[in-house]
Amino acid sequence: MTGMTHAMPKGSNVPLGATSIRAVLRWTPGAGVPDVDASALLLGTDGRVRADEDFVFYNQPRHPSGFVRLLPKKRTAEGLTDTVQADVGSLDASVDQVVLAASSDGGTFSGVPDLRIMLYDAAVPDGEPLAVFDVRAETGEETAVICGELYRRGEGWKFRAVGQGYPTGLIGLATAFGISVDDSEPSAATAGPAPQAQPEAQPQPQAEPSYGYPQPASPAAQPAYGYPQPASPTTQPAYGYPQPASPVTQPAYGYPQPAAAAGPAPDPDFRLPPMGPQFIRH
């Protein structure tokens, strides 16, 4: 880099002559190397976010203002990169600084080789870096780290190399700056189903017979119309179908009934007596 070819030591700062900054995190990937995600927090003068929307990370990759956003990860000849672009010259005056952070997934930063942050003027394609800071693990237990911060100085902006680590990951980093993280809800994988209340047994009303289908015979059951019912002294005939003969059964209308038993055969010599006066022609 021209004029600033040396890597910045931790705690040092440098003025930025640009109003649109591209902050590039770069590391060397490989087998067993944790993945790294860049993030940014927009802070007020009190050093805390103004709202949860001031946290820009992989689940919220764009600030509502549109002036701070994540760019897609890229693989280069030097390694893998994840980038935050901040148009600091357009930010609201209530934003005093932009924290540039990183979190690891699958291990600590002690297992991430060659991690560095490089700042570029986004308005100058393929330009030299404005600042470079090599980020090193301090304890070996860090799963989140503040790489650096952009902050206001008069009418311009400066960059400070920070390198502060957190063993509590992205959640610990976010809560340290006032982000509301609700982790009180039980996990769906561990929470069992809620017990179901057993309903109190209630007396059931007597079922009414369905018309068109035979019902079981009982003293209180009414005949179902259209189908024959079992014969009983109190059963009324079902209209349209023959019923078994009984002394009290009425003929069913519309169908022939069984013939009554035949009486004795008539006398073949029987003759009717003469009816009325008889007239004999002479």
Residue 115 exposed, middle or buried by CB count within 10 Å (0-12, 13-18, 19+): buried
Q: What is the pLDDT of residues 113-142, one digit of tens each?
A: 999 999 999 999 888 999 999 999 888 899
Percent of the chain with pLDDT over 70: 62
Using the structure block, give the residue that is written with the tokens 């699958």.
Answer: 106
Is pLDDT larger for residue 231 or for residue 102?
Answer: 102
Helix (H) or strand (E) holding 103: strand 97-105
Instruction: Please report which confidence band the pLDDT of residue 7 belongs to, taking 50, 70 and 90 as the band edges.
Output: confident
Indicate if the pLDDT at residue 67 is higher than 70.
Answer: yes
Question: Where is pLDDT greater, at 105 or 230?
Answer: 105
DSSP 8-class letter at 20: S
Residue with the larger pLDDT of the pair 204 and 98: 98
Residue 100 has pLDDT above 90, yes or no: yes
pLDDT of residue 198: 45
The domain 6-177 is classified under which CATH number: 2.60.60.30, 3.40.228.10, 1.10.3720.10, 3.40.50.150?
2.60.60.30
Nearest to 163 by CA among 22, 36, 10, 28: 10
How far apart CA 238 and CA 247 sit, in angstroms, is 16
**Nearest CA-CA partner of 83 in 67, 102, 106, 64:** 102
pLDDT confidence bin for 278, thresholds 50/70/90: very low
> Alpha helices, DSSP H only, in 86-239?
169-176
Describe the strand order of the beta sheet including 156-166 as a list of residue ranges.
13-16, 156-166, 144-153, 97-105, 35-43, 55-56
Residue 259 pLDDT > 80, yes or no? no
Average pLDDT of the residues of the chain: 78
Bigger pLDDT: 245 vs 138: 138
The dihedral through the CA atoms of 17, 22, 25, 30 has a sign that is negative
Cα Rg, the chain, nearest whole Å: 49
Are 229 and 223 in contact, with CB atoms under 8 Å apart? yes
How far apart CA 52 and CA 224 sit, in angstroms, is 71
What is residue 19's three-state secondary structure?
Answer: coil
Distance separating alpha carbons of residues 20 and 154, to the nearest angstrom: 17
Mean pLDDT, to the nearest integer, of 4-30? 89
Segment 142-199, tens digit of pLDDT? 999 999 999 999 889 999 999 999 999 999 999 999 998 775 543 333 333 334 444 4
